[in-house]
Amino acid sequence: MHVLVTGAAGFLGSHLTDRLLGEGHTVLGVDNLSTGSMENIAHLAGESRFRFEQRDICKPFDPGPVDYVFNMASPASPPEYLRLAIETLRVGSAGTENTLEIAAKYGAGHLHASTSECYGDPLQHPQTEDYWGNVNPVGPRSVYDEAKRYAEALVMAYHRSRKVNTHLVRIFNTYGPRLHPSDGRVISNFMMQALLGKPLTVYGSGDQTRSFCYVSDLIEGILRLSRSNEHMPVNIGNPDEFTILECAQAVLKATGSSSELRFEPLPEDDPTRRRPDITRARTLLGWEPRVALKEGLALSLEFFKTKAAATV
């Protein structure tokens, strides 16, 4: 297959590109590098089946015939999408529409990277795909949440009206090597702080929960979904749920650090809990996460150690 990956220089886009190349496909990766980094794809420099174009997908473009489009482009960490508020809304709307036009033009499959943020601060726990969510449409996080919700509506409209073979993955918190060390997410912050001997910044009381999926599990789920006949959203995430305090302890253990915890204010509209119900993924895709948090942190340690060494 000839595959277009948007956001190819990002955390998930680069891992997905590696998997696709490993399976023998050719990949055109595009990224405007607003949050992605060439470092994530530097190892592909000599790979003849990979081509990279720096471009903003919000402007219409024609990559030529493609068999599949993976739309992974978007700022994704809270500090980054707050910094890039309007860009985040545009990539979810105009950018996503442009990728759907490409899929429609070439009869390609299309998978859109959606998010557990579609559920907002959920009143239903764990979250099933048929839960409509509890999203503040005008709060600071709305630039991300509503862009992703609009994108889901757009994808479904292209499926229903233009018969595009679309797929929607709702991605829950994911971590692993190439998670940007300074993009402000909890695992990257804690790993870097622990390795640099700095206090771990716990926002709020640390009682809020998240469920962390290791990147290889997530990519496997995405690929299975892309090859399925399912067009409605599918949660991909690890249902093992941790409080942020438990997460901090797990990072201290994995790094052998004796850093202290420092409590800081909770960001506005920070969801109090999050855990995927993965019955749909289990049933439809035969998918199951395999890597537990402890193991995934160990697998990520080398990456963060290198990053920490580069900052001192």
Nearer to ligand UDP (CB atom), residue 208 or residue 259:
208
Give the position of tokens 């929607």.
168
Q: Which of 248, 226, 267, 228 is nearest to 77 (CA)?
A: 267
Q: Which is nearer to ligand UDP, 15 or 210 (CB)?
A: 210
Least spacing, CB of residue 197 vs ligand UDP, in Å: 16
Q: How far is the CB of 264 from ligand UDP (least distance, A)?
A: 7
Question: Distance between CA atoms of 34 and 132, rounded to whole angstroms?
Answer: 30
Residues that bind ligand UDP (CB under 6 A): 77-78, 173, 184-186, 189, 201-203, 208, 210, 244, 266-267, 270
* Minimum separation from the CB atom of position 103 to ligand UDP (A): 27
**Which CB atom, from 102 or from 143, has the smaller least distance to ligand UDP?**
143
What's the maximum distance between 2 C-alpha atoms anywhere in the chain? 57
Q: Is 21 or 79 the residue whose CB approaches ligand UDP more closely?
A: 79
Question: Least distance in Å: CB of 305 to ligand UDP?
Answer: 19
Answer yes or no: 144 catalytic: yes
Say what angle helices 186-195 and 244-255 make with each other, to 10 degrees.
40
User: Which burial class, exposed, middle or buried, applies to 123 when counting CB atoms under 10 A from its CB (0-12, 13-18, 19+)?
Assistant: exposed
Report the nearest approach of ligand UDP to the CB of residue 47 (Å): 31
- Residue 14 vs 174, nearer CB to ligand UDP: 174
Q: Least distance to ligand UDP from the beta carbon of 77, Å?
A: 6
Catalytic one among 68, 81, 144, 214?
144
- DSSP-derived letter for residue 60 is -
Instruction: List alpha helices for the chain, DSSP H.
Output: 11-22, 78-83, 85-90, 96-106, 142-162, 186-195, 215-226, 244-255, 279-285, 293-311
Contact call for residues 55 and 32 (beta carbons, < 8 A): yes
Backbone CA torsion sign across 185, 189, 192, 194: negative
Residue 12 CB partners (closer than 8 Å, separation 6+):
72, 113, 171, 174, 215, 218, 219, 222
Nearer of residues 184 and 239 to ligand UDP, judged by Cβ: 184
| β-bridge mates for residue 120, sequence order | 134
Can you state the angle between helices 96-106 and 142-162, rounded to 10 degrees?
20
Residues forming the active site = 144
